Amino acid sequence: MKRFFAVLILVVGILGLPVWAQVESSEVRTLKSYADNGDVEAMKLLGEIYKNGNGVTKNYYKASYWLTRAAEKGNTSAQINLAFMYKTGDGAVKNPDEAIRLLRLAAEKGDSKAQLFLGSIFLEGDGVQKDPFTAADYFIRAAESGEVAAMLYLATMYRKGEAGAPDVGLAARWGGKAASMGSVAGMISLADLLERGKDIPKNLLEAYGLYKVAADRCQVATSRRHISRSRDRVWRKLRLHDRDEARRIASEMTASIPQSN
């Protein structure tokens, strides 16, 4: 089974095409054979194929059937796919309760995408009672698994006090964690806190460095101009004899902070 998928992915990768763009009916039949014999990964893949119409006619009934079978056997990817269908009504009868049930199953298995999804649902009160404390709990779990979006949610929530009293220290922690993983938004969040110096020590040198890296890496022209103005504002606040040190720190940050995917 693994060799079958590996060969398929290799061939398509060489051709430079989407993985399932070259799937033909014989290969789908092979997947069905594996799925019928209990292979959960094959069930999940069939569900995705029929859901997206990759190499076959799009068929939501078949997509739901195979994703449900995989989800019932504990496949977290299938649970999330199926939850999205129930949440949006895309290919299934809209059912927010079932969506949340499936997401919780995946989240309890440690799936960070499910945790992130649940966090956003409870934060916004999207089909459920709004509960920022439950949202924060899911975001923390997702962030601890490396989900940058969850870190940014937490930075904002702690800064605004959306799950209790404002906590600038925790906002800086999570914004800084996101920044260290290459998030431009994380760099801006931490830089702003360091520039203001409210409830945490002011550090204009690091604020300048973060703004500098964020401006250099931002791909959106209007946002880049806004970040550049923040960088220049901090530069003007720096004492003349601190500016060489600010340049050095910015250079070190550029070298040490990875490029975001």
pLDDT at residue 2, as a whole number? 52
Of 53, 84, 89, 48, the residue nearest 69 (C-alpha)? 48
Whole-number Å distance between alpha carbons of 82 and 47:
9
Contacts 24+ apart (CB under 8 A), 133-139: 133/163, 133/164, 135/163, 136/162, 136/163, 138/107, 139/115
pLDDT at residue 146, as a whole number? 97
261: burial class by Cβ within 10 Å (0-12, 13-18, 19+)?
Answer: exposed
Cα 40 to its chain centre, rounded Å, is: 25
Report which residue type is found at 157: M
Of 160, 157, 125, the residue nearest 139 (C-alpha)? 157
* Strands annotated E in 54-130: none
pLDDT at residue 54, as a whole number? 83
Whole-model pTM: value is: 0.85
As a dihedral over the C-alpha atoms of residue 174, residue 175, residue 180, residue 182, rounded to 10 degrees, the angle is: 130
- Quickly count: other Cβ atoms within 10 Å of residue 85's Cβ: 25
Report which residue type is found at 186: G
pLDDT digits (tens, 9 = 90+) for 36-81: 999 999 999 999 999 998 888 899 999 999 999 999 999 999 999 9
Residue 253 neighbours by CB under 8 Å, 6+ apart: 209, 210, 212, 213
Low-confidence ranges of the chain (pLDDT < 70): 1-24, 261
- Tokens of residue 207, six digits: 């604020």
Place of tokens 């290459």: 182
